[in-house]
Amino acid sequence: MGKPRDDLRHSSDVEQPTVNGRRNTASMGAEDKYIVSLSSPLRVILSWRRVIVLLTFLLVGISVGSSLVQTPTYEASIRILVGEERASGAPGGDLQSVVLGLQQLTQTVAEDIKSRPVADAVIQRLSLPMTAEGFLNHVSVEQVPRTQLVEVHYSDPSPERAQQVANAIGEVYSEQVSELSPSANNTITATVREEAWVPVEPVSPNIVLNSVLALIAGLMLGIGVAFLAEYVNNGRLSAGERKQVGGTNPARDKKMEIEDEAVKR
């Protein structure tokens, strides 16, 4: 009676490695499938690398060429300091209220500089061949955060004219700003703190930035075309060819054969 027990014990010991062996095989199969799925995109990219490189160079060339053809634009800038003068004996306020009031006043000045009266005065002073609307399209104004400084920018194809117009804007507005004074006791001032210099480098077109963007767009377009072409090519394969590429799978292969027969009909 003891011998059958030994046989059972030995039998279970022999079967266990077989089960473990099957588990190891399944695990290896999953790992192989995962590796193949990761390598497929790389295979497609390498197969179509010439198309990807060609499209990338084509877009970069178009970007650089169009940038070189464009007329360069230069930008000159000035800084205006906004202040408020109080008449002698005029009531004042605490420091915080005064600073807050000046910052709000600076915002108003920044909006008022880009106005038609300023544009008309500058155009008349410099005899510029343009309308007020066209002039204002070249002007940008912004307040330096938490300060009483306003930056005025003027862009033009001529660097000398850009400097000249920017300085004229500061001069004209300094003369007109007194009209904004809320009362006789308080006078608003706008002093040109920094005059414009003749710009050396154009602000547009930015050839380097345009080339980088074209490079990224070319790579994305080339990779997209590569995967689309690969998808179309795979759709044209017969069931037998797809078996060689993707291996055997009875359910899938049967479906492929049905699809091929439907196409032939």
Average pLDDT taken over every residue of the chain? 77
Per-residue model confidence (pLDDT) at position 178:
72
Buried b (16+ CB within 10 A) or exposed e, 125-159: eeebeeebeebbebbebebeeeebbbbbbbbbeeb
Per-residue model confidence (pLDDT) at position 100:
76
Cα dihedral 125, 127, 131, 134 in deg (nearest 10): -90
Other Cβ atoms closer than 10 A to 57: 14
pTM exceeds cut of 0.75: no
- Say whether pLDDT at 21 is over 70: no
Tell me the CATH number for domain 74-194: 3.30.1890
Tens digits of per-residue pLDDT, 198-222? 999 999 888 889 999 999 999 999 9
**CA of 261: how far to CAs of 69, 238, 257, 258, 264, in Å?**
56, 10, 6, 5, 5
227 vs 178: which has the higher pLDDT: 227
- Say whether pLDDT at 25 is over 50: no
- Say whether pLDDT at 132 is over 80: yes
Per-residue model confidence (pLDDT) at position 119:
95
Bridge partners of 74? Answer: 156
Per-residue model confidence (pLDDT) at position 263:
52
- Which of these ranges, 90-104, 151-165, 207-221, 231-245, has the smallest mean pLDDT? 231-245
Per-residue model confidence (pLDDT) at position 232:
80
**CA of 210: how far to CAs of 19, 155, 205, 207, in Å?**
61, 20, 8, 5
**CA of 248: how far to CAs of 26, 48, 254, 261, in Å?**
16, 26, 10, 19
How sure is the predictor about 67, in pLDDT bands with cuts at 50, 70 and 90?
Answer: confident
- Say whether pLDDT at 27 is over 60: no
